[in-house]
Amino acid sequence: MKSSAVHIAFGFLLMGGWTLFANRAHGLAESWLPALVQGTISGALTGILKKVLETLDGRLSGAAAYVVPPMITAGSILAVLTVVHRLIGTPELIATIAFPWTVSTLYAVIYNARLVADRRKAA
């Protein structure tokens, strides 16, 4: 649980800060809401992503065990980020989404690979 809380807090701070930076040309009045929303989404999705990958671990075999879980989380996160930021009118939509989506996808690939490797090592 402690590890999950740290992951969530880190996701909130890093991605909320990134969103402020990505939308800085539009001033604080237009940047604070997307930053708060992105931080909240990133914190929540980090916790969910971790749990989804842990739940899917062991359900697939071979190369699919490495590829499918991160693909599921990457597609889901991209959809959530796109819909939410469109709904709130984030000025720099692509710049706002690109970094959090890339980082979450890399996190998913690395964390999932570790889960699969640890499970295989234990077997």
Half-sphere exposure of 26 (CA within 13 A, CB side): 19
> Which secondary structure element, helix H or strand E, spans residue 44, and what is its range?
helix 27-56
pTM > 0.95: yes or no: no
| pLDDT 10s digits, 3-41 | 778 877 888 899 999 999 999 999 999 999 999 999 999
* Mean pLDDT score of the chain: 93
CA distances from 7 to 32, 43, 49, 99 (A): 22, 7, 11, 16
Task: State how far the Cα of 49 lies from the Cα of 54, in Å rounded to an integer.
Answer: 9
Confidence of residue 118 (pLDDT cuts 50, 70, 90): very high
